[in-house]
A and B are shown apart, each in its own frame.
Chain A
């Protein structure tokens, strides 16, 4: 749970007592191979999932055979804390790479709500943050043109992975195929590859074999019209 605590502490102070409580939340860990579905739409839920290693995605598959990814999860994220109240999901959660997760029984989250009101507020913040990310993706899908949409995704991942120490010298792992990248952005794999080429030509970012190299973050953010406010990087204390 180290990476999860790191993610929480990027925004909030967590006391030793709260840390001990968080560390005792999971009842087991699980591993998934790339492309394995971790949670299926509609399946009754008794646990929520914290991603420890790897990258996962929330997605919806349409009857036309196309897939829309609605959020990417990085290590430290709760992938389905909303499942605690919803008890089923309206989307699948899939591992995009080999993943390791910690599973937290819902009755322990229930106990947290009764015994740890401050942690409850912090996790409420977490689901609100998820909603903010979803809103920004809606804006991207509806209003940003292809290059800006892709640049925005790379900016967001740069910030979110940076919070948990997974950006090194402007480079980070994003183990997505061109097809999966396109599924995040509403493009075909071929269109995604061509958009990657345009971004490469702009000298701001490169994406090759699952590694993103950001050469000029500010210029990339300018292309994307990226403002990190929606990620609430410095929230007031809860």
Chain B
């Protein structure tokens, strides 16, 4: 299983993933990125009442090469009142 590193960049700063983890494939890493974005946004919303969608999870391969990026807005669906 390939190893990927998932770094988080948003207005709170940059959290570098030094450890990485094994995923079935890049799609598996993308799904983890989406779950993590939702988890982080939920936490921020509970803490401060703000949903700040300016952020992304960067996915790097074992060599440190950036191979994909998952933007925060792509992980959530916002339904506003009419």
Interface residues of chain A, those whose CB is within 8 Å of chain B, are 145-146, 177-179, 187-191, 193-194, 196-198, 201, 208
Contacts and interface: CB of A to CB of B under 8 A. Distances in A.
A36 B33 CA distance: 27
A189 B32 contact: yes
Contact of A190 (B13, B18, B33, B46): B33
Nearest to B40: A191
B21 A177 contact: yes
A139 to B, nearest CB: 16
Main secondary structure of the interface of A (DSSP, over half): helix
11 contacts: A145-B47, A179-B21, A188-B32, A189-B6, A190-B8, A190-B17, A190-B33, A190-B36, A191-B39, A193-B15, A208-B18
Lowest 10 A-B CB distances belong to which pairs? A190-B36, A197-B15, A194-B15, A188-B36, A191-B39, A190-B6, A146-B43, A194-B8, A178-B19, A191-B36
Contacts of B54: none
B36 A177 contact: no
Interface of B: 6, 8, 12-13, 15-19, 21, 32-33, 35-36, 39-40, 43, 46-47, 57
Nearest to B43: A146
Given A145-B47, A188-B32, A198-B12, A193 B39 contact: no
Given A177-B19, A179-B21, A190 B43 contact: no
Contacts of A188: 32, 35-36, 39
B35 A193 contact: no
Best-buried of B15, B21, B35, B43 by chain A (most CB within 10 Å):
B15
Given A145-B47, A194-B8, A198-B12, A187 B19 contact: no
A197 B21 CA distance: 17
Contacts of A193: 6, 8, 15, 17, 19
Nearest to A148: B47
A190 B12 contact: no
Contacts of B47: 145
Contacts of B15: 193-194, 196-197
